[in-house]
């Protein structure tokens, strides 16, 4: 504080630099973790492996994350945030049931194969990702899907079916098909989205109305 009790410019700058350094350190750790999980898989990776990929001291990790579980959850949380944005620009704007389903599946399948690291992350970590499905960040995907289905029913894009069942079916199909899709060579996200969309459309006519 200055003589008059005000924060000085120098103190403000120092505080700003500290916050910037904290943000940069966290970003560096997340980037390193994503690479390590993609290469080694969650089970084989350790906190030491992650820290080695950065210029940070080993103890610095624990200023940001409690353990490997927490940084893995943060890596997946970042990815789900990006997926949510894409759903808002796709599924939420669909004007037909077929477009709704296609946008839903295309976002997932194309996102996974977008770059080599993401594809490797998906291939090596499905079991670990499955354990996160009830965590807040990942749960946000399910909540957004339920909201989009309700909005699509209200606007006549989808028939008035059981929202929770349909959301569970769509999420399950996306997750399980993606496991098979990434194991194939070449990986075919368009083919996977087409199959899942046709499957939903073929079954939709036979689903009980509410």
Q: Let me know whether 25 and 74 are in one domain.
A: no
Of 119, 117, 111, give the one whose Cα is nearest residue 141: 111
Q: What is the pLDDT of residues 148-190, one digit of tens each?
A: 999 999 999 999 999 999 999 999 999 999 999 999 999 999 9
Q: Quick one: average pLDDT of 107-111? A: 95
> How much of the chain exceeds pLDDT 90, in percent?
73
The radius of gyration of the chain from alpha carbons, rounded to an integer in Å, stands at 21
Instruction: Answer yes or no: are the C-beta atoms of 52 and 40 closer than 8 Å.
Output: no
Task: Residue 87: count other Cβ atoms within 10 Å of its Cβ.
Answer: 19
Q: How far is Cα 100 from Cα 149, in angstroms, rounded to an integer?
A: 9
* Structure tokens given for 73: 């959850």
Q: What is the pLDDT of residues 134-153, one digit of tens each?
A: 888 888 999 999 999 999 99
Q: How far is Cα 135 from Cα 194, in angstroms, rounded to an integer?
A: 29
Q: Let me know whether 121 and 198 are in one domain.
A: yes
Q: Let me know whether 51 and 82 are in one domain.
A: no
Give phi and psi for 158, each to the nearest 5.
-115, 150
Q: Let me know whether 100 and 191 are in one domain.
A: yes
Calculate the dihedral angle through the C-alpha atoms of 43, 47, 52, 56, rounding to the nearest 10 degrees. Answer: 150
Tally of domains in the chain: 2
Q: What is the pLDDT at residue 67?
A: 96
Q: How high does pLDDT run on average in the chain? A: 91
Q: Let me know whether 43 and 9 are in one domain.
A: yes
Residue 24 pLDDT > 90: yes
Q: What is the pLDDT at residue 4?
A: 55
Q: Let me know whether 97 and 200 are in one domain.
A: yes
Domain coverage including residue 173: 67-210
């Amino acid at each position: 504080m200055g003589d008059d009790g005000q924060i000085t410019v120098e103190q403000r700058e120092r505080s700003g630099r500290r916050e910037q350094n904290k943000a940069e350190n966290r970003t560096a750790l997340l980037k390193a973790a994503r690479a390590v999980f993609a290469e080694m898989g969650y089970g084989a990776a350790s906190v030491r492996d992650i820290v080695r990929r950065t210029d940070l001291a080993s103890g610095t990790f624990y200023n940001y994350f409690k353990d490997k579980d927490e940084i893995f959850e943060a890596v997946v949380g970042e990815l789900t945030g990006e997926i949510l944005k894409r759903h808002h620009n796709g599924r939420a704007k669909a004007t037909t049931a077929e477009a709704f389903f296609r946008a839903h599946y295309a976002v997932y399948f194309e996102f996974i194969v977008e770059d080599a690291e993401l594809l490797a992350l998906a291939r090596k970590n499905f079991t670990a990702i499955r354990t996160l499905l009830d965590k807040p960040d990942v749960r946000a995907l399910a909540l957004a899907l339920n909201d989009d289905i309700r909005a699509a029913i209200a606007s006549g894009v989808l028939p008035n079916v059981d929202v929770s069942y349909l959301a569970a079916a769509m999420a399950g199909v996306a997750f399980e098909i993606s496991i098979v899709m990434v194991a194939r060579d070449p990986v075919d996200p368009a083919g996977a989205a087409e199959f899942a969309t046709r499957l939903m459309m073929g079954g939709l006519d036979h689903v009980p109305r509410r």
